[in-house]
């Protein structure tokens, strides 16, 4: 067991921000302290190179075609301020989750993410790839060098995860067991490249892959739950999926159909906490409240918020 998190340093408000971040930090810490955890593992956090980050945030500001609605970014602070806030929350480890949106950019994103992880002890070294001929070569090198996990985004990248150009990549990742966070669900806006079909085809060919489906695969949560029930390597991250904001509720709790809640309970060791910080339109603490409101018990929450990330990535990741 790791040592308890040190008391949080005071958080200063960012310019123009009136949110009482100190109170929210206390609320988040009270959540995991009540569970007897040493903090939170949050496997869905974004830190991107500043020019890329600004471009992404513009898409959110403009309600672009892949956003589809007004989406105010609550934690629009510089990187140092965001790091201070995550530390105040007691988030012990988190990734950067870069995602390549076109050929030729993965190398830039991966180099930046490697440097950022080297400079910030809490950061899990994350990389990305894109369907391009050189992808197997750079993925093999990253795996050999010890990258913790990868991120792909079918919606933004406009590709199917079973694109033939990725065959060599999936062979490498199936052999190494390196996890991939995959945005393959159709939330917030579906495209011809989203939905469960491509991942289902991929898993039939590479059943040993370790895939962490972002946002529980919302809105096709039932289909991705079924894949997790069929394949031991399929995990589900909770980011945004429990929020009514992200996907229309269908008679369930938050954005998840009530009939799926017991199935998520049965998948206790393969549901992993993620937040989607900083691009949340609501409070970080609220998402933890929605997670607890599923009423699946404290042991389930302990696994989701801590132990399952260690099982997926290796217990050594907690020693930041």
Helix extents (H) in 77-210: 79-89, 106-119, 135-145, 154-157, 167-176, 197-205
Rounded CA-CA distance 68/136 in Å is 34
> What backbone torsions phi and psi does residue 248 show, to the nearest 5 degrees?
-60, 130
Query: What structural domains does the chain harbor?
Result: 21-312 (3.20.20.140)
Which residues are within 8 A (CB) of 240 and not within 5 positions of it... i.e. 6 or more apart? 187, 215, 218, 246, 255, 276, 280, 287
Residue 277 is given by DSSP the state B
Torsion sign (Cα): 314, 222, 301, 41: positive
Contact 32, 90 (CB under 8 A): yes
Pairing of strands 123-124, 180-183: unpaired
**What's the confidence (pLDDT) of residue 266?**
98
Separation between Cα atoms, residue 208 and residue 311, nearest integer Å: 15
User: Could you tell me which of 271, 305, 275 has the C-alpha nearest to residue 287?
Assistant: 275
Angle, CA 224 vertex, CA 90 and CA 181 arms, to 5°? 45
Reading the chain (320 residues) residue by residue, the pLDDT tens digits are 333 333 333 333 344 354 578 999 999 999 999 999 999 999 999 999 999 999 999 989 988 778 878 889 999 999 999 999 999 999 999 999 999 999 999 999 999 999 999 999 999 999 999 999 999 999 999 999 999 999 999 999 999 999 999 999 999 999 999 999 999 999 888 999 999 999 999 999 999 999 999 999 999 999 999 999 999 999 999 999 998 777 553 434 447 889 999 999 999 999 999 999 999 999 999 999 999 999 999 999 999 999 999 999 987 777 75
Q: What tokens does 65 get?
A: 């075609």
Other C-beta atoms lying within 10 Å of the C-beta of residue 100? 25
Consecutive H or E run containing 302: helix 298-302
| Token duo for residue 294 | 């599923």
| Predicted structure pTM score | 0.91
Given a contact cutoff of 8 angstroms between Cβ atoms, the answer to whether 103 and 130 are in contact is: yes
Tokens 């609605």, residue located: 69
Predicted local confidence at residue 198, as pLDDT:
98
CB atoms within 10 A of CB 167: 16
Res 247: pLDDT: 59
pLDDT, residue 155, reads 94
Task: Classify burial at 209, counting beta carbons within 10 Å of its beta carbon; exposed 0-12, middle 13-18, buried 19 or more.
Answer: buried
């Amino acid at each position: 067991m790791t040592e308890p998190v040190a008391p949080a340093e005071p958080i200063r408000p960012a310019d123009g921000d009136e949110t009482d971040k100190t109170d929210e930090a206390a609320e988040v810490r009270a959540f995991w302290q009540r569970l007897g955890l040493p903090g939170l593992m949050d496997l869905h956090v974004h830190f991107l190179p500043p020019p890329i980050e600004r471009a992404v945030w513009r898409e959110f500001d403009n309600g672009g075609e892949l956003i589809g609605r007004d989406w105010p970014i609550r934690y629009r602070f510089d990187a140092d301020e965001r790091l201070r806030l995550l530390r105040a929350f007691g988030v012990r480890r988190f990734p950067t989750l870069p995602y390549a949106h076109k050929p030729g950019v993965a190398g830039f994103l991966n180099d930046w993410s490697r440097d950022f992880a080297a400079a910030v002890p809490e950061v899990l070294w994350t990389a990305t790839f894109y369907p391009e001929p050189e992808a197997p070569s750079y993925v093999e090198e990253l795996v050999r060098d010890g990258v913790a996990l990868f991120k792909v985004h079918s919606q933004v990248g406009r590709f199917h995860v079973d694109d033939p150009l990725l065959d060599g990549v999936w062979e490498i990742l199936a052999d190494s067991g390196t996890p991939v966070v995959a945005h393959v669900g159709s939330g917030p806006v579906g495209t011809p490249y989203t939905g469960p079909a491509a991942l289902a085809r991929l898993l039939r060919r590479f059943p040993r892959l370790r895939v962490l489906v972002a946002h529980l695969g919302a809105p096709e949560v039932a289909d991705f739950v079924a894949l997790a029930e069929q394949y031991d390597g399929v995990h589900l991250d909770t980011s945004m999926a429990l929020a009514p904001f992200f996907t229309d509720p269908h008679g369930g709790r938050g954005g998840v159909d009530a009939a799926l809640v017991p199935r998520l309970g049965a998948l206790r060791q393969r549901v992993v906490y993620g937040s989607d910080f900083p691009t949340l339109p609501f409070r970080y603490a609220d998402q933890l409240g929605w997670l607890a409101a599923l009423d699946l018990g404290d042991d389930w929450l302990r696994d989701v918020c801590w132990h399952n990330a260690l099982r997926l990535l290796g217990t050594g990741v907690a020693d930041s």
